[in-house]
Structure 1
Amino acid sequence: MSDAKFKQIAKTIEARIDSGEYPAKFKLPPHRALAYELSTTPATVAKAYQLLVDKKRVESFVGRGTFVCVQASLSEVIQPADDEQDYNFSILQPCLLQNLSPLRDAMMQATEQLNTQLMGYTEHSGHESHRLAGVVWAKHYGLIGGNSDNTLLTNGAQHALSLLIHALTEPGDTIAVESLTYPGIMAIAKSAGRHVVGVQLDDEGMCPDDLQQVIRLNRPKLVIVVPSHQNPTGITMPPARRDEIANVIAANNIWLIEDDIYGFLNPEPIAAISNRIPQLSFHISGLSKAISPAMRCGFLKVPDSHIAVLQAYIRANIWLSSPLNYIAAAQLIESGEAFQLAERQRQTAIKRQQMAKELLGYQGRETGFQLWWPLPEHWQQERFVMEAKNKGLIVSSGSYFKVNGEDPHHIRLSLMAISSEQRLQQGLIMLRDLAKSEFVMNPHF
C-alpha cells in the first residue's frame, strides 16, 4: 500500500475531527473496523493513526485505544460571538452597557488632563498618582501594605501573570496551579516553556494538604491561586483556608501569585493571602472585570526584594502602561465612582445567578460572573459545545480548564457578557432544552 494511501486516510480522519464528527476525547474506531469502512487494511489505518499521533491530533493508550486530543486554546475558551444574534456565554466580562456612559465620561475628562509630563516617558512603571490609585483600589477589597513604591502598573492582570512567570521562573521550571484553572495561565506557561501541575480543589478552594504534597513531589518554583470567585468553579476561599495556604507557602519558602481580580464580588472584603506573607507573595488586582477589559489597568503589589527587578522587566517589556487609561482609572477611583460601578456589577451578578438557578434547576453561587454547570451524563462536553454553537449559543467546555486528573464534565457559562436580561433568559432556556435533549451518535460508532 502506498504512502499516499495512509496519508489520505489521516486527512479523512482529521476532517472528521475538524467537523466535529469525531469530537475531542472521542475514541476512534478499531483499526479493523475503520479499514473495513474505508476499504483498506488494518496496517494502513495503523500508519494513519501513528501519523496523527505525531501531529498531536490523537493520542493512543495501550489496552484502551486511540482518542482525539483536546485542542484547547484561549481562542476556543474565550470566543467573541460571530454574529450579534449569538448568545455569548463564553467571555467573563462585566455587563458593559452599565459602565459605558461613566467610562466614556471618564475618558473624555482624562484627555483634558493630558500635559507634556503625562504624555512622556516616566520611571517606576507609571506615575505615582496612578500607582496610589491602585493602592486604594486593592485596599478596598482586602489588601494591606500597598504603597506607591511596591505597587506597579501593568497592562491588565494577564500581563501581570506573564510578567511574573517570566521573572520568577526559567524554562523547564514547574508552576503549581489549581487543578481547574483559567486557561490563560496555561497558555502563558506553555509559550514560556514552563510545566504546570494541578493542586486539588475542594469546596473551599485549593487544598493545603495536596499543595504540600505537590510541592514535595514536583518542587514548583511558584504557586498561582485565585482566591475569590475562582475561574472556572466560582469558589471563594474563606479566611481560615487562606491562612492554611499561607502557612504552606511560608513553610516551603516558595513564591505565591495571588490573582484576586474578582475580589470586588465578595459581599465584604476578605483579607488577602498576601497580607500574611508579604515578602513571599505577589498580589494582582485590576479593573478589567469590574469596569471594562479595554481599560487594561492592572495593579501588582510585589515584595520589597523584587521592586527593582519587576520595574526592569516592565521597562524592557512595555516601558509603561498607557497613562491615558490610568488617568481615567485614577479619576474613577478617587471619586469613588469605580467602587459604585463594581458594586453595580456585583448586584447584577447576584440577580443573574438567581435567574440561572431558577431556569437551569442548579444551585450555583450566590454571586459571581460564571456558572460551573454540570452536564447530564448522556452529553459529552465537546459535543455539547458544538451543538450549542449550532444554535447560536457560545459556551466553554469544562475540559479546557483541566490541568490534570479526571474530566470535570461541566460547562462554564458566563452570565454577564449578554447585555440584556431578556436575552440572557432566552439563552438559558435554550441551553436547558438542549441539555435535556438526546444526541444520537452515528450507528457505525
Structure 2
Amino acid sequence: MTVTETAATAPVPPLAARAIAVGGSPVRDILAVTARREVINFAGGLPAPGLFDREGIAAAYRAVLDAEPERALQYSTTEGEPTLRTALAARTAARGLATGADDLIVTTGSQQALSLLATALVEPGDTVLVEDPCYLAALQVFSFAGARIVPVPCDDAGLDPSALDALVARERPKLLYTVPTFQNPTGRTLPAERRAAVAEVAARRGLWLIEDDPYGELRFEGERVPWVASYPGAEDRTVLLGSLSKVMAPGMRLGWLRAPAALRRACAVAKQAADLHTPTVNQLAAARYLADSDLDAHVARVAAVYGERRDAMLAGLAEALPSGSTWNRPDGGMFLWARLPDGYDATALLPSVVRHDVAYVPGAPFHAASPDPSTLRLCFVTQTPEEIGEGLRRLGAGLAGRWDE
C-alpha cells in the first residue's frame, strides 16, 4: 500500500472539559483590542511603568550576576531562595504577623499561589465562597479546579459576615477567597470589625480562608487595617498571599504564600509538579534589592502619585458618567468601581467607548452568579492626571454616543 492509499488520519482526542468550559479573561481580551498607543486605557490592572525603580532593580541584577552567577543561573529549591524568604518574612512580621522564613513559599507571582492552593485544597464539586464581585482570575482558577463557586453578599464595605455565616452553614464550603484590602475590582476595604467576624465564622464553622493582599501597601490615606490572618480564630486556617508585582515590578513574577505547615507542604508538592521553582535570578535580585534599597520609601512615593491620580479621576467622573451614576472613593490600591443608572449596560456600551480611544472593564465578568450589567471597573494608576482628564472626556463622549468630538 502506498502512502496515498493509507486510511484517513484519525482525529486527536478532545481537550479536557475544563479547558473548553472555562473562558479566557475579558480583561486580557480588552487589553488586546485596545493595545493601540492612542487608547487611554482604564481597563488594565497595570502598575504605572514610569514609576518602576529601574536603576535600583538593574543594580540588583548586576550585583547578583557579578557576585554569584553560578547560583543565580542554577536551579533552586522549590520553596524559594532562603535570602528572599527571610526578607519577606521580616517584612510580614514588621506588619504585625509573626512569620519565619520556613512559613513561606515563594511563587511565580501570587497568581501561581492561588493555583497551587486550588490544586491542594479543591476537589471537583467542592464549594468555594467568593466575594461578590470577585477578582476575575480567581474565578478562573476555581473554575478550572472544578469548584462550585458561590458568591457571598457584599455591600459598600465588603462581605457581610452574617450572610457568610448563613452560607457556610447551608453550603458546607471548603474555603472562602477574599481580597479584603483595596479589593479588585471594587477598591473597597473590609473594616476591622468585619475581619474579626470573618475569622470567628471560619473558626466556628470549619473553613479555610485565603486572604489575597496584592494591594495593601498602596495606601494613600487612612489607617492600615490588620490582616484577617492576625485575628483570633484565623491562625490555623488562613493562607496569606503577597506579591512584589504592584510594589516592585510585575515582570519579575514574584509572589509568596504563608500557610499552615501541612497545607504549605502540599503546595510545595504542587509547585514541584508545576514549575519546580520560581526563577532563581529573579529571587536573588529581589532579595538584593530589599537589602540595598528602601522599598518602603519607594512604595510611599508610588502611593503618593497614585493618590493624585485617584483624585484626578474622582474630579472628572461626575461630568464623564451619566447623571445618576454612583462610584466609590478608595483609600488606596488601583481601582474604583462605578455603577451607571438603571437601563445602562456597560458591556454593550464598551464598543462605542473604544471607538473614542478609551477603555474600561465592564463589571459583569467579575460576578460569580447574577451580574450587574450597569457596573464597570476603572484603573486610575497607569495614566497621568492630564491623561486621565482627557480619557474621562472621551469616556463621556463614548457613553453619550457623541461623534462630533
* Fold shared, TM-score > 0.5 on shorter chain: yes
Following TM superposition, by how much is the alpha carbon of 1:152 offset from its aligned partner in structure 2, in angstroms? 0.7
Q: Which structure is larger by alpha-carbon Rg, 1 or 2?
A: 1
**Alignment partners' CA distance in 1, 2:356 and 2:218:** 31
1:205 equivalenced with 2:158 (yes/no)? yes
The answer on whether the counterparts of 1:376 and 1:435 sit within 8 Å (CA) in structure 2 is: no
The answer on whether the counterparts of 2:364 and 2:373 sit within 8 Å (CA) in structure 1 is: yes
**Alignment partners' CA distance in 1, 2:32 and 2:166:** 36
Query: What are the residue-to-residue correspondences of 1:232-381 with 2, within 5 Å?
Result: 232-266=185-219, 267=221, 268-276=223-231, 277-361=234-318, 364-381=329-346
Match of 2:146 in 1: 193
The answer on whether the counterparts of 1:143 and 1:274 sit within 8 Å (CA) in structure 2 is: no
Match of 1:423 in 2: 387
Across the aligned residues of Structure 1 and Structure 2, the Cα RMSD in angstroms comes to: 2.4
**Alignment partners' CA distance in 2, 1:234 and 1:363:** 8
The one-character-per-residue Cα deviations of 1:282-326 (angstroms, maximum 9, x if unpaired) are 100111112221011102101123232222221221111012111
Amino acid at match of 1:241: R
Query: What are the residue-to-residue correspondences of 1:133-212 with 2, within 5 Å?
Result: 133-140=87-94, 142-212=95-165
Aligned length, in residue pairs: 370
**Alignment partners' CA distance in 2, 1:269 and 1:331:** 27
Match of 1:223 in 2: 176
Match of 1:435 in 2: 399
Alignment equivalent of 1:394, drawn from 351, 359, 381: 359
The one-character-per-residue Cα deviations of 1:258-303 (angstroms, maximum 9, x if unpaired) are 0011110235442211123221011001111122210111021011
Structure 2 residue matching 1:145: 3-state secondary structure? coil
Structure 2 residue matching 1:265: 3-state secondary structure? coil
Amino acid at match of 2:357: G
The answer on whether the counterparts of 1:77 and 1:400 sit within 8 Å (CA) in structure 2 is: no
Following TM superposition, by how much is the alpha carbon of 1:129 offset from its aligned partner in structure 2, in angstroms? 0.7
The answer on whether the counterparts of 1:265 and 1:367 sit within 8 Å (CA) in structure 2 is: yes
Structure 1 residue matching 2:245: 3-state secondary structure? coil
Amino acid at match of 1:365: P
1:125 equivalenced with 2:90 (yes/no)? no
**Alignment partners' CA distance in 1, 2:34 and 2:62:** 29
Match of 1:38 in 2: none
Distance 1:152 1:71, change over 3 A: closer
Runs (4+) of structure 1 moved beyond 6 Å?
none
The answer on whether the counterparts of 2:131 and 2:177 sit within 8 Å (CA) in structure 1 is: yes
**Alignment partners' CA distance in 1, 2:66 and 2:386:** 38
The answer on whether the counterparts of 2:56 and 2:293 sit within 8 Å (CA) in structure 1 is: no
Alignment equivalent of 2:60, drawn from 94, 106, 118: 106
Structure 2 residue matching 1:244: 3-state secondary structure? helix
The answer on whether the counterparts of 2:362 and 2:373 sit within 8 Å (CA) in structure 1 is: no
Following TM superposition, by how much is the alpha carbon of 1:88 offset from its aligned partner in structure 2, in angstroms? 1.3
The one-character-per-residue Cα deviations of 1:130-177 (angstroms, maximum 9, x if unpaired) are 11122133344x351221111110001111111101111111211100
- Normalised TM-score (structure 2): 0.85
Match of 1:9 in 2: none
Match of 2:5 in 1: none
The one-character-per-residue Cα deviations of 1:60-89 (angstroms, maximum 9, x if unpaired) are xxxxxxxxxx98645236557421111111
The answer on whether the counterparts of 1:154 and 1:297 sit within 8 Å (CA) in structure 2 is: yes
**Alignment partners' CA distance in 1, 2:352 and 2:330:** 26
**Alignment partners' CA distance in 2, 1:423 and 1:231:** 22
Unaligned runs of 5+ in 2: 1-19, 319-326
**Alignment partners' CA distance in 1, 2:365 and 2:200:** 30
The answer on whether the counterparts of 1:137 and 1:333 sit within 8 Å (CA) in structure 2 is: no
Amino acid at match of 1:224: Y
Unaligned runs of 5+ in 1: 1-55, 58-69, 440-445
Structure 1 residue matching 2:240: 3-state secondary structure? strand
The answer on whether the counterparts of 2:356 and 2:397 sit within 8 Å (CA) in structure 1 is: no
The answer on whether the counterparts of 1:177 and 1:196 sit within 8 Å (CA) in structure 2 is: yes
The answer on whether the counterparts of 1:96 and 1:417 sit within 8 Å (CA) in structure 2 is: yes
Distance 1:120 1:166, change over 3 A: same
**Alignment partners' CA distance in 2, 1:114 and 1:426:** 48
Amino acid at match of 2:147: R
- Normalised TM-score (structure 1): 0.77
Distance 1:71 1:307, change over 3 A: closer
**Alignment partners' CA distance in 1, 2:31 and 2:112:** 17
Amino acid at match of 2:353: A
The answer on whether the counterparts of 1:282 and 1:300 sit within 8 Å (CA) in structure 2 is: yes
Distance 1:101 1:120, change over 3 A: closer
Identity %: 26
Distance 1:111 1:84, change over 3 A: farther
Amino acid at match of 1:103: I
Structure 2 residue matching 1:93: 3-state secondary structure? coil
The answer on whether the counterparts of 1:79 and 1:91 sit within 8 Å (CA) in structure 2 is: no
The answer on whether the counterparts of 1:93 and 1:292 sit within 8 Å (CA) in structure 2 is: no
The answer on whether the counterparts of 1:175 and 1:195 sit within 8 Å (CA) in structure 2 is: yes
**Alignment partners' CA distance in 2, 1:259 and 1:138:** 14
